[in-house]
Structure 1
Amino acid sequence: MREIRWAVLGTGVIANEMAAALKKNGRNISAVGNRTQEKAVAFAEKYGIEKVYDDFHEMFIDPDIDVIYITTPHNTHIEFMKQAIRNGKHVLVEKSITLNSSELEEAIALAKEHGVVIGEAMTIYHMPLYKKLREILNSGKLGKVNLITMNFGSFKDYDMSNRFFNRKLAGGAMLDIGVYALSFIRYFMSSKPDQILSQMKPAPTGVDEQAGLLLTNSDGQMASVMLSLHSKQPKRGMVSCEKGYIEIMEYPRAWEAVITYTESGEKEVVKVGEHADALAYELADMEQAIGGDADCMYLSYTKDVMDLMTEFRKEWGLKYPEEE
């Protein structure tokens, strides 16, 4: 199969990481587009990218591009995805992939119609550590997964013009950091949670600043999540099983976990992969999906997580302008 040709929409932090990650995989971005063309030109010069679009919409119809990485704000994703898919482009989209379940369902149906792959850029599904931990759990040595506890909190100043608190940019803890916690939970749970409870503290703009979530699935597995955009917490995940528990720090791009076996007290350190290579793993899996192994992008998990986030926001009465 010939080399897959990538374009990136946006020139922010993630786009820069994506450029570096693709170079780690031995290649380069073929084209870049941005609302501000000068920023696209500067980005192209920085990374030696040959093609810069005068109008970023040109990338959706460019016959020399196979896959587009969309790194723009959440509320712009669906329209860009639809343009790309209708023109036969595969699409990798920054989390959260869409605003809500109905948008994602529309994108999935359209992708099926046009025979292209779509995926969310969720690092958890692609870090080698998680694949190794799943092997350990599948071996039965820890017994059944019963409880999962998650924390993710950062302190953001109350600058209501930035994307974190801005309703017009789909701000709030759920779509920004909650998506990581819920993706972790879905990865380790045997089925999608079907019972949920929550509490939410709004920011002055009305978006969710802080939230506590409880989830249970039909197998009796339970999970709790504490999120905040205005209070620092460790990025910590714990998977509690019948015969021990797994602790993971910096879980969105984790490379190390500690397993404690409760009967003996023995601790086992599991190290696999590199934190710095998170996007390189993600891009490699997306190319594998384009090559025919679509399951490696975990789109069904992405859909389950989006369903949960949509339901939580419905409980809170939190809508974005595009949803009103």
Structure 2
Amino acid sequence: MKNINWAVLGTGVIANEMAVALKKNGKNIYAVGNRTHEKAVIFAEKYGIGKVYADYNEMFTDPDVDVIYITTPHNTHLNFMKKAIENGKHILVEKSITLNSDELNEALALAEEKGVIVGEAMTIFHMPIYKKLRKILESGALGKVNLITMNFGSFKEYNMGNRFFNRNLAGGAMLDIGVYALSFIRWFMDSKPDQLLSQVKQAPTKVDEQAGLLLTNAEGQMAAVMLSLHSKQPKRGMVSCEKGYIEVMEYPRAWEAKITYTDSGKTELIKAGENADALAYELADMEKAINGDPSCMHLDYTKDVMDMMTEFRKSWGFTYPEEEK
């Protein structure tokens, strides 16, 4: 298996988690770049990274870089993705991978032309618990999945300048937390929902603060989602089937789930993986993709989720400045 050199663009919370995760996988970040050079230097010293770019754009043309983890705000992703792809770099991109489906399709068309791997850092597609639950469902032990219900709410103070509510930083519940709920739904549904209904509460900055979503696919599987950036909710997902139901708490970085079998009332606790290793699983799968198994990044699901988020936002008439050019 080829040794892979990772570079990280950005030095925020996720970049710090990535550095720790790579060490768990027995590796280290090869290089770091940031808009503020001093922050990149401090980050490199903290994690023993040998290369710091005076200009972060040098990352895209460095012949020793194999893959770049893009951890900057959503609305900067497309430009960085294109620069990386044009220079033959594989990319792992923080969620949400782009602002909308048009941006994602543009990036993927370029990636196909250049022969590089694109992946979204979506925990749900990589943590062992979700893979284990899929196998249980595929065994038929619970029958058909009929209904999925999701809650995801964070309480953010009404500071309209922070990234959660800031339209100029691609704020709003859909791209920040809705992407997790929709990824969970897509993971457990047989196909992408094609019937979408919703209600939304707008923040003063004209981003989505709170939303209720209803989704149905061709197989008649349904899902209901409640999102909020100003009300705390349990991070709970429930997959209801013909013969029982699965409850997942603390998604997306879950490590256990409870199955209840309705005929007998029996419950079973399923455990797999560790919460603390969430990014390590993502990085390991990305390396597998680069070494010949791109299916493990589940890019088809990433595209489906982006299509749904784009359709919901269009139905609300909500746009970001980059979408109005």
User: What range describes the TM-score normalised by the shorter chain of this pair?
Assistant: over 0.9
> What amino acid is aligned across from residue 243 of structure 1 in structure 2?
K
Cα distance between partner residues in 2 of 1:195 and 1:61: 43
- Where do 1:274-285 residues align within 5 Å? 274-285=274-285
- SS of the counterpart of 1:164? coil
Match of 1:159?
159
Offset, 1:260: 0.1
Cα distance between partner residues in 1 of 2:159 and 2:46: 30
Match of 1:78?
78
Offset, 1:267: 0.2
Is 1:147–2:147 an aligned residue pair? Answer: yes
Match of 1:115?
115
> What amino acid is aligned across from residue 312 of structure 2 in structure 1?
F
> What amino acid is aligned across from residue 198 of structure 2 in structure 1?
S
Match of 2:230?
230
- SS of the counterpart of 2:133? helix
Offset, 1:320: 0.1
- SS of the counterpart of 1:141? coil
Match of 1:207?
207
- Counterpart contact for 2:2–2:291, Cα < 8 Å: no
- Where do 1:5-44 residues align within 5 Å? 5-44=5-44
> What amino acid is aligned across from residue 44 of structure 1 in structure 2?
A
Query: 4+ runs of 1 displaced by more than 4 Å?
Result: none
Cα distance between partner residues in 2 of 1:193 and 1:297: 20
Q: Which runs of 5+ in 2 are unaligned?
A: none
Is 1:67–2:67 an aligned residue pair? Answer: yes
Offset, 1:317: 0.3
Offset, 1:162: 0.8
Offset, 1:175: 0.1
- SS of the counterpart of 2:220? coil
- SS of the counterpart of 1:155? coil
Cα distance between partner residues in 1 of 2:108 and 2:141: 37
- Deviation by residue 1:280-303 (Cα, 9 ceiling, x = unmatched): 000000000001100100000000
Match of 1:103?
103
Offset, 1:234: 0.5
Match of 1:256?
256
- Counterpart contact for 2:77–2:93, Cα < 8 Å: yes
Match of 2:195?
195
> What amino acid is aligned across from residue 96 of structure 2 in structure 1?
S
- Deviation by residue 1:49-99 (Cα, 9 ceiling, x = unmatched): 000000000000000100000000000000000000000000000000000
Cα distance between partner residues in 2 of 1:305 and 1:139: 25
Q: Which runs of 5+ in 1 are unaligned?
A: none
Match of 1:180?
180
Cα distance between partner residues in 1 of 2:249 and 2:110: 37
Match of 1:299?
299
- Deviation by residue 1:202-241 (Cα, 9 ceiling, x = unmatched): 1111100000000000000000000000000000000000
- Counterpart contact for 2:195–2:216, Cα < 8 Å: yes
Cα distance between partner residues in 1 of 2:19 and 2:159: 29
How many residues are treated as equivalent by the alignment? 324
- SS of the counterpart of 1:253? coil
Offset, 1:319: 0.2
Cα distance between partner residues in 2 of 1:160 and 1:65: 38
- SS of the counterpart of 1:63? coil
Cα distance between partner residues in 1 of 2:109 and 2:2: 27
Cα distance between partner residues in 1 of 2:127 and 2:188: 14
Cα distance between partner residues in 2 of 1:53 and 1:35: 10
Offset, 1:3: 1.0
- Deviation by residue 1:149-169 (Cα, 9 ceiling, x = unmatched): 000000000111110000000
- SS of the counterpart of 2:17? helix
TM-score by length of 1: 1.00
- SS of the counterpart of 1:246? strand
